[in-house]
């Protein structure tokens, strides 16, 4: 009983964290003048918030032994599976698009400013939901019909009989995990290479060399980072960042990619293994564990993709001061604009 109580407490805590964190980040983004820049992060918060409102409470009922007597109709079970697959797909696809967007923002900033329009962002959001709904509809093809009922604890993808579930699980894993993982890993490896080059080029240039031989202007991201940090950071900090910048960048990227793999790899590995296991009708306790490890991503995402961003944290601090009736006025717009100019490469990664 103690184990069940602890499990129920952890599930409720994850759900409440997802509700609060996603709401806070979403409100901050909607109130900031830089909304276009964070539109996909805002969409990720919306998906995770919907999951915390509709999916995770049903997941608590399906996972905890305290609700073993709860019975779902076939329609209710289909609705739970629909929400489960749809929100998981939308969240993972949004994370993949965020990684691509960050790549262009960092490596090709001029191209990003020109091509990243509201129309393109809306098209990306529509693509995410269309693909998620199509995958979910595919999951529900061939499921039992009628007005029967089943225990809430058995309302999983394995309730679907026959070989159809094996085909779906394979397609679901490839479309919503394997391909996004490849994209995320490839993109952040490219970002790390740029970060490493930029950090190595932050060494101060002697004044005599600048006076004797003026150099041709370069618009590369590495030179832009060098110019920005040279104007902002003092000399000792420049020297320190030259040696520490690469480690800070790789640590940030390892945390982002590692969090994604830790949350979703057990979930998809379990679902890929279960259909080939002999007599695997339901996932049981193992499925409950990997499912809630995956659901924890809904609570962690707003921290990794929202609150770790310095501009969002500063905006949150200003909104908190405004709630305490402290006047902000024009200082808010000026400070946000200055933050956008002074945000160097490694600060953006963090």
Spatial distance between the Cα atoms of 62 and 80, rounded to a whole number of angstroms: 10
In the prediction, which pLDDT does 142 show? 64
In the prediction, which pLDDT does 312 show? 83
Residue 347 lies in a domain: no
Residue 87 lies in a domain: yes
In the prediction, which pLDDT does 166 show? 79
Residue 309 lies in a domain: yes
pLDDT tens column, 296-322: 999 999 999 888 878 888 888 888 887
* Backbone phi, psi, residue 281, to 5°: -90, -35
In the prediction, which pLDDT does 232 show? 39
- The CATH number linked to 128 is 1.20.1070.10
- Which residues, given as ranges, of the chain have pLDDT below 50? 205-243, 278-281, 328-346, 350
Residue 47 lies in a domain: yes
Could you tell me if 22 and 56 are in contact, meaning their C-beta atoms sit under 8 angstroms apart? Answer: no
* Backbone phi, psi, residue 343, to 5°: -75, 110
Q: How far is CA 10 from CA 237, 283, 292, in A?
A: 42, 20, 9
Of 6, 43, 61, nearest to 129 (Cα)? 43
Whole-structure pTM value: 0.78
Spatial distance between the Cα atoms of 78 and 76, rounded to a whole number of angstroms: 5
Residue 214 lies in a domain: no
Task: Mark out the alpha helices in the chain (DSSP H runs).
Answer: 2-31, 39-50, 56-63, 74-107, 109-115, 118-140, 164-173, 179-200, 207-212, 221-232, 235-273, 284-302, 310-323, 331-342, 345-349
Question: Range of 255's domain?
Answer: 1-201+246-317
Coil vs helix vs strand at 150: strand
Spatial distance between the Cα atoms of 66 and 60, rounded to a whole number of angstroms: 10
Burial of 298 by CB count in 10 Å (0-12 exposed, 13-18 middle, 19+ buried)? Answer: buried
Spatial distance between the Cα atoms of 99 and 83, rounded to a whole number of angstroms: 24
* Backbone phi, psi, residue 48, to 5°: -65, -35
Give the count of domains, the chain. Answer: 1
Residue 41 lies in a domain: yes
In the prediction, which pLDDT does 313 show? 83
Residue 339 lies in a domain: no
Reading the block at residue 110, the tokens are: 């001029």
Can you say whether the dihedral through the CA atoms of 59, 270, 301, 299 is positive or negative?
A: positive
Residue 283 lies in a domain: yes
In the prediction, which pLDDT does 269 show? 92
In the prediction, which pLDDT does 344 show? 46
In the prediction, which pLDDT does 230 show? 41
Spatial distance between the Cα atoms of 304 and 161, rounded to a whole number of angstroms: 38
């Amino acid at each position: 009983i103690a184990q069940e109580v602890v499990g129920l407490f952890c599930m409720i805590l994850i759900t409440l964290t997802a509700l609060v964190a996603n709401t806070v980040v979403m409100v901050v983004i909607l109130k900031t003048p830089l909304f276009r820049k964070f539109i996909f992060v805002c969409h990720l918060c919306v998906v995770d918030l919907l999951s915390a409102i509709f999916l995770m409470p049903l997941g608590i009922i399906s996972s905890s032994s305290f609700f073993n007597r709860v019975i779902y109709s076939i329609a209710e079970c289909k609705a739970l599976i629909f929400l489960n697959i749809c929100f998981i797909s939308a969240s993972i696809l949004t994370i993949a698009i965020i990684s691509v967007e960050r790549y262009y923002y960092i490596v090709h900033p001029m191209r990003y400013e020109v091509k990243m329009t509201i129309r393109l962002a809306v098209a990306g959001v529509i693509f995410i939901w269309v693909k998620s709904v199509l995958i979910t509809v595919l999951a529900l093809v061939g499921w039992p019909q009628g007005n029967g009922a089943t225990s809430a604890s058995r309302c999983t993808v394995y309730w679907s009989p026959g070989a159809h579930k094996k085909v779906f699980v394979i397609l679901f894993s490839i479309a919503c995990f394997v391909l996004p993982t490849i994209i995320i890993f490839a993109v952040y490896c490219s970002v790390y290479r740029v970060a490493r080059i930029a950090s190595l080029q932050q060494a101060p240039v002697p004044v005599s060399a600048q006076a004797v031989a003026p150099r041709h202007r370069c618009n590369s991201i590495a030179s832009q980072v060098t110019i920005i940090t040279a104007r902002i950071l003092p000399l000792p900090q420049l020297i320190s960042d030259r040696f520490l910048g690469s480690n800070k960048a790789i640590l940030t990227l390892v945390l982002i990619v590692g969090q994604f793999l830790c949350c979703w790899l057990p979930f998809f590995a379990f679902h890929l293994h279960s259909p080939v296991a002999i007599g695997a009708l339901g996932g049981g306790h193992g499925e409950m564990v990997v499912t809630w490890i995956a659901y924890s991503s809904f609570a962690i995402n707003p921290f990794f993709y929202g609150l770790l961003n310095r501009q969002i944290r500063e905006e949150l601090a200003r909104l908190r001061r405004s709630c305490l009736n402290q006047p902000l006025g024009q200082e808010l717009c000026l400070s946000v604009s200055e933050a956008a100019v002074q945000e160097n490469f490694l600060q953006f990664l963090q």
